[in-house]
Amino acid sequence: MYNSIYTITLPCILSAGEVLMIRKRLALLILPAIVFLIVLVIKEWEVIESYEGQAVIRHVTTSEKLIALTFDDGPDPLYTARILAVLDKYNARTTFFVLGLNVRQYPHLVRQEIAAGHEIGLHGYRHVLLTGQPLYATLRDLKRSEELIVKATGYRPVYFRPPFGFYNAALLRAVMARGYRVVLWTADMDPRDYTDPGAREIAWRVINGAGNGDIVLLHDHGGNRTQTVLALEEILRVLTARGYKFVTLTELLESGQGGKIPT
């Protein structure tokens, strides 16, 4: 009943010309609104490669035979100690990108990593997609992860790697403004150990493409990481024999561009 009155009276109020004019005006308003929304979405997904002269680090140009292995998602009560033992055997240093939640559970393992001469980077509190949560939540998580690492080791991390390697401009700016250097990995140096392709396959993927200044992505947490431990032994054995030295990110960056850390 209400609907029928509405539809009958409306044409009586406005002439056909007026309706057309209103439609045109609405179109003029809607168009900029749509453009504005598109710009907002693009800004949200905008990926920039640098902020205030600092680039996202994926590789370091160096003439020295140096490689930075990195281990994400730990520390882990089963696999971190095994990885530390293999690294020690080959006198290799590495960088662990830890999760705050795991640091809270296993602070002694982070202490062991630092005590053995390795470096700690931050990977977030939980393994979540940071571009899918508000920035304030990410910064809150970073702060509490930093506090846990400082409490466990007395060391404040300076490197950050977002989970899955996903970031946007807003995240990059916020993290870099907090003093972090954002580090991902060299393009062909993700052997996808987390898909368990076999220890020999993981090792082959790294050994086959490895070169000076490469940053390799491996994992010491997330399922059964036995394949990673076995692959690590093979990677270190073969590449050490080829003259490569395995160093922390800081050592790798210092070797780059004539000894200066690139900015």
Could you list the active site residues? 72, 219
CB of 124 or CB of 213, closer to Zn ion:
124
| Residue 192 C-beta: closest distance to Zn ion, Å | 12
CB of 73 or CB of 193, closer to Zn ion:
73
Interacting residues with Zn ion between 150 and 169 (CB under 5 A): 163
For 177, the enclosing helix (H) or strand (E) is: helix 169-177
Backbone angles phi, psi at 158, to 5 degrees: -120, -5
Question: Is residue 73 within the footprint of Zn ion (CB under 5 A)?
Answer: yes
Select from 67, 72, 218, 248 the one that contacts Zn ion (CB under 5 A): 72
CB of 141 or CB of 239, closer to Zn ion:
141
Backbone dihedral region for residue 130 (phi beyond 0: left; psi -120 to 50: alpha; all else: beta): alpha
Q: Which residue lies nearest Zn ion, judged by its C-beta?
A: 72
Window contacting Zn ion (CB under 5 A); options: 56-64, 71-79, 191-199, 237-245:
71-79
Answer for the pair 215, 250: CB distance below 8 angstroms, yes or no. no
Q: In the structure encoding, which two tokens stand for residue 213, read together?
A: 């200044």
- Smallest CA-to-CA distance from 209 within 184, 239, 240 is with 239
Backbone dihedral region for residue 91 (phi beyond 0: left; psi -120 to 50: alpha; all else: beta): left
Window contacting Zn ion (CB under 5 A); options: 17-25, 67-75, 194-202, 224-232:
67-75
CB of 214 or CB of 220, closer to Zn ion:
220
CB of 157 or CB of 163, closer to Zn ion:
163
Rg of the Cα atoms in the chain: 26
The CA-CA-CA angle for residues 42, 45, 48, to 5°, reads 105
CB of 73 or CB of 220, closer to Zn ion:
73
Window contacting Zn ion (CB under 5 A); options: 4-12, 38-46, 73-81, 187-195:
73-81
Answer for the pair 97, 70: CB distance below 8 angstroms, yes or no. yes
Give the count of residues interacting with Zn ion (CB under 5 A).
3
| Residue 73 C-beta: closest distance to Zn ion, Å | 4
- Rounded to whole angstroms, the Cα distance separating 113 from 106 reads 11
Window contacting Zn ion (CB under 5 A); options: 8-16, 64-72, 151-159, 176-184:
64-72
- Rounded to whole angstroms, the Cα distance separating 238 from 2 reads 82
| Residue 58 C-beta: closest distance to Zn ion, Å | 16
| Residue 80 C-beta: closest distance to Zn ion, Å | 14
| Residue 220 C-beta: closest distance to Zn ion, Å | 10
HSE-CB for 74 with a 13 A CA cutoff: 33
| Residue 128 C-beta: closest distance to Zn ion, Å | 10
- Rounded to whole angstroms, the Cα distance separating 78 from 91 reads 21
Q: In the structure encoding, which two tokens stand for residue 253, read together?
A: 């960056």
- Which residues lie near Zn ion (CB under 5 A)? 72-73, 163
